[in-house]
């Protein structure tokens, strides 16, 4: 049997290797339009920033290693230009000799990936404007920086790749600005969790233009809907779309985005054709709705599943939940599942909590705080999403939360997880446990919450009591107007000054002391509400809203 695979990298290369391990005698052919069959596309920005110094490290497999180890025929610079599902023929253009030939297949796997979206604006084809998708792109960008020595770089798009590129261009010695059409960086984050990211990246010297789009690029500037920026180097990173133009005429089912529609076996509507990776429509694991999530991990799994089914092994892809992580200088940003926007779009009645925990025991040197936000379905209590912004230890906490979502855990199950503890690595009450404890308190009614977006609407006319239980020293660094200071440790001595017939809205720095205050007040018959995430979150969001989006606080 002959299986032809169109496209390498994550999905196609994984499918080929898996299929060979299952069927030694089959003929397997990979067609790859480019020069590289398997490369670390997630590592490309780090070569530009000199974190990865040897470009050979970006190449995971070569045609020669595939041939030697797996007996797979890899044909680079061979582009599939037409597919005929009826005759089982792929028409291939050999770019090396500029000739076309037909290739018969018994089974076909499509792994064409996604292409970078290019804006339809003036100046998009200027020689200092680049996109980053593959190794040749990376080499061109690196050569341009070394030869032309640009000074002012603009990254258009503030997603994962855009943020990584900004970091690495700073390390390459450029002045860097990110332009983002949305109101915050990293779309899977909610805006409140992105506020810390904005403050941090500004401190690192990166200017931000948020809520702004590019209208034109010239030799020395990027022109925006509001203003312009000096630029002699531009990276476009506004997203990707499935690269499926060549399959539109062959009768395969595509959705409105151009993604190939597949079943759980990664099989298209043509029985002998499978599709994997960034070109396919996936099911959102949490909502069960169609989605587009171009990530390397899911692509690898899909390649394996397609190979299994071709080899006669029943295997299903059960959906993508979008677990992702980003290193931004020393900060770590991680997400999984749904954010608030997607939960609302899916019609889920959800609740949320914020916690602020240390990466390990705070008495052991080097402990760093992380902000944790979790969402759960109010009806089923199922954990549906999580976001963490911090430094050390973020990755392992997010992996725990991603696993909990994958196995359908309730948010209250987080309280029962027995996680590894020693002072250098964690706390006896791990940040994941703490998130569960807070959620459990909300669900059981032990704690009523209000949120940062509720604060400004609270009446200041005396109809409610607004209480700040931080210390005097903390208040001197900033406060919410209208809140009366009564430090937690003196609260019992001032109960006679707090009316019992009015709701009490309490806050502290992170939400922990104000929770203790609320339990104390509830014990004395008060109706008490705790500010989720505390002053720290409120101040971060409010500060982010008043800082002009184009100001770099360090470099302007």
Phi and psi angles of residue 246, each rounded to the nearest 5 degrees, phi first = -75, -10
- Would you say the C-alpha torsion 229, 232, 237, 242 has a positive or negative sign? positive
Which token pair is 196? 């810390």
Active site annotation includes 42: yes
Report the candidate in 474, 481, 413 with the shortest Cα–Cα distance to residue 443. Answer: 413
Of 42, 250, 552, 555, the catalytic one is: 42
Task: Specify the DSSP element, H or E, that contains 216.
Answer: strand 214-217
Report the candidate in 191, 197, 195, 128 with the shortest Cα–Cα distance to residue 162. Answer: 197
The two counts, helices (H) then strands (E), for the chain are 13, 32
Task: Specify the DSSP element, H or E, that contains 27.
Answer: strand 27-32
CA–CA gap between residue 526 and residue 545 (Å, rounded): 34
CB 514 within 8 A of CB 475: no
> In angstroms, what CA-CA distances link 240 with 153, 291, 293?
21, 14, 10
**Three-state secondary structure along 397-426?**
HHHHHHHHHHCCCEHHHHHHCCCCCCCCCC
The four Cα atoms 115, 164, 158, 541 give a dihedral, to 10 degrees, of 150
CA–CA gap between residue 88 and residue 321 (Å, rounded): 34
**Three-class secondary structure of residue 476 per DSSP:** helix
Q: Residue 291's beta-bridge partner residues?
A: 282
CB 336 within 8 A of CB 322: yes
Residues tagged active-site: 42
């Amino acid at each position: 049997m002959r299986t032809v695979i169109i496209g390498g990298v994550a999905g196609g290369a994984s499918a080929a290797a898996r299929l060979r391990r299952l069927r030694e005698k089959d003929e397997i052919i990979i067609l790859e339009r480019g020069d590289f069959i398997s490369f670390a596309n997630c590592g490309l920005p780090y070569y530009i920033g000199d974190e990865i110094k040897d470009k050979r490290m970006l190449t995971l497999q070569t045609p020669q290693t595939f041939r030697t180890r797996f007996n797979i025929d890899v044909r680079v610079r061979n582009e599939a230009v037409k597919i005929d599902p009826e005759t089982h023929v792929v028409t291939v253009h050999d770019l090396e000799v500029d000739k076309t030939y037909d290739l018969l297949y018994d089974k076909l796997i499509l792994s064409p990936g996604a292409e970078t979206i290019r804006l339809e604006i003036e100046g998009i084809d200027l020689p200092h404007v680049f996109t980053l998708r593959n190794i040749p792109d990376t080499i061109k960008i690196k050569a341009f920086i070394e030869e032309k020595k640009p000074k002012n770089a603009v990254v258009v798009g503030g997603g994962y790749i855009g943020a990584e590129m900004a970091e690495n261009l700073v390390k390459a010695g450029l002045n860097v600005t990110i332009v983002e059409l949305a109101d915050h960086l990293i779309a899977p984050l909610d805006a409140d969790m992105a506020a810390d990211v904005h403050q941090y990246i500004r401190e690192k010297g990166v200017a931000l233009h948020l809520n702004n789009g590019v209208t034109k690029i010239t030799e020395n500037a990027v022109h925006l809907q509001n203003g312009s920026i000096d630029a002699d180097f531009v990276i476009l990173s506004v997203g990707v779309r499935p690269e499926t133009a060549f399959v539109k005429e062959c009768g395969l089912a595509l959705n409105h985005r151009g993604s190939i529609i597949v079943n759980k076996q990664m099989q298209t509507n043509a029985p002998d054709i499978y599709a994997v990776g960034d070109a396919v429509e996936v099911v959102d694991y949490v909502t069960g709705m169609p989605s587009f999530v171009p990530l390397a991990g899911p692509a690898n799994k899909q390649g394996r599943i397609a190979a299994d089914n071709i080899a006669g092994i029943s295997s299903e892809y059960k959906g993508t939940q979008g677990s992702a992580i980003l290193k931004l200088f020393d900060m770590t940003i991680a997400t999984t599942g749904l954010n608030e926007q997607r939960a609302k779009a899916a019609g889920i009645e959800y609740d949320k909590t914020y916690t602020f925990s240390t990466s390990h025991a705070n008495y052991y040197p080097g402990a760093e705080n992380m902000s944790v936000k979790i969402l759960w379905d109010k009806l089923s209590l199922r954990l549906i999403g999580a976001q963490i912004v911090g430094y050390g230890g973020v990755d392992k906490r997010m992996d725990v939360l991603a696993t909990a979502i994958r196995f359908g855990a309730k948010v209250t199950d987080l309280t029962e997880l027995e996680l590894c503890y020693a002072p250098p690595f964690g706390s006896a009450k791990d940040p994941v446990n703490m998130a569960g404890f807070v959620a459990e308190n909300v669900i059981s009614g032990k704690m009523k919450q209000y949120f940062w977006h509720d604060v400004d609407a609270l009446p200041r006319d005396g109809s409610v009591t607004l209480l700040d239980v931080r210390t005097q020293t903390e208040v001197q660094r900033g406060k919410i107007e209208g809140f009366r200071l009564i430090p937690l440790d003196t609260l019992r001595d001032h109960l006679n000054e707090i009316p019992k017939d009015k709701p009490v809205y309490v806050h502290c720095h992170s939400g922990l002391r104000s929770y203790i205050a609320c339990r104390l007040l509830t014990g004395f018959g008060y109706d008490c509400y705790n500010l989720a995430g505390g002053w720290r979150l409120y101040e971060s969001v409010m500060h982010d809203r008043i800082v002009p989006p184009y100001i770099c606080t360090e470099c302007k």
